[in-house]
Amino acid sequence: MRNRQSGIQMHRALQRHRRLFVAVELNLLEPLSQQRSRVFSGKRNPAGAVENLDDKFWYGHVAGNLTSVFVSLKSIVPVMRAQRSGRIVNITSPASRMALPNYLAYAASKAGVDAVTRGAAVALAPYGVTVNAVAPGMMDTPMQRITEQQLAALEGRNDFEVFLAERTRRIPLGRRTDCATVAATVVWLALDAPDYITAERLNASGGLDKD
């Protein structure tokens, strides 16, 4: 429900500016009349160290997180190039720059999103199109909880609430974010950020991604 409320909030904000916004994975929003802004997301869950990954799991994450961004870009770029304007926002993760052995497929696919973001930003800059990414931190969502339950099991932990508290303490701000905060970050990039910002990775992780 919180995701849907955040989606409605973004929809209304973008509607005021008569721009298009699509949250691909969650299917929260309907397209508006003009193709000006796009957001591309993905999927997540851990699976253990590299020797325990099967091919299907690996390719599933690459398809869900990286190939989906590539295909989405191919569909929208011709429109934005033709109108010589547009803002594309990809969703990456702090995991893409962290050494996380039990998150290998997810982290690698999100690192690919970072590379696509930078490359596409440079390619599209002459056409007035910006391409940036947002890296959300830990959130209290059903998907995040399932992921952390799996991580706890992989680490042999049976004290799940203690495990969650330990992970939260790793965040320099000392608390988790929420969907509304991440949505506000995306909306800012899609609407209000200076149009000189491109090829950027904006961390909304409470300091978790410190580099």
> Is 59 part of the annotated catalytic residue set?
no
209 inside domain: no
| Cβ–Cβ under 8 Å, residues 112 and 62 | yes
Query: Which residue among the candidates 59, 103, 106, 196 is catalytic per the annotation?
Result: 106
Question: Could you tell me if 114 and 92 are in contact, meaning their C-beta atoms sit under 8 angstroms apart?
Answer: yes
The total of structural domains in the chain comes to 1
Task: With a cut of 60, say whether residue 164 has pLDDT above it.
Answer: yes
Question: What range does the domain containing 90 cover?
Answer: 2-139+176-204
Please check whether residue 154 lies inside any domain of the structure. no
Q: Answer yes or no: is 88 within a domain.
A: yes
Residue 155 lies inside a defined structural domain of this protein: no
Residues 137-159 have pLDDT tens digits of 999 889 889 989 999 998 999 99
For residue 210, tell me if it sits in a domain: no
For residue 192, the domain's CATH number is: 3.40.50.720
Q: In whole angstroms, what is the distance from residue 37 CA to residue 44 CA?
A: 24
Question: What pTM does this model have?
Answer: 0.81
Task: Report the Cα–Cα distance between both ends of the chain, in Å, rounded.
Answer: 33
Provide the token pair at 31.
């397209």
| Domain membership flag for residue 162 | no
Query: For the segment 80-116, what is each residue's pLDDT rounded down to a tens digit?
Result: 999 999 999 999 999 999 988 888 999 999 999 999 9
Please tell me which residue, 102 or 165, carries the higher pLDDT value: 165
Stretch 192-196: mean pLDDT: 95
Q: Which residues contact 96 (CB under 8 A, 6 or more apart)?
A: 107, 108, 110, 111, 113, 114, 135
Secondary element (H or E) of residue 5: helix 2-16
168 vs 183: CA distance, rounded Å: 21
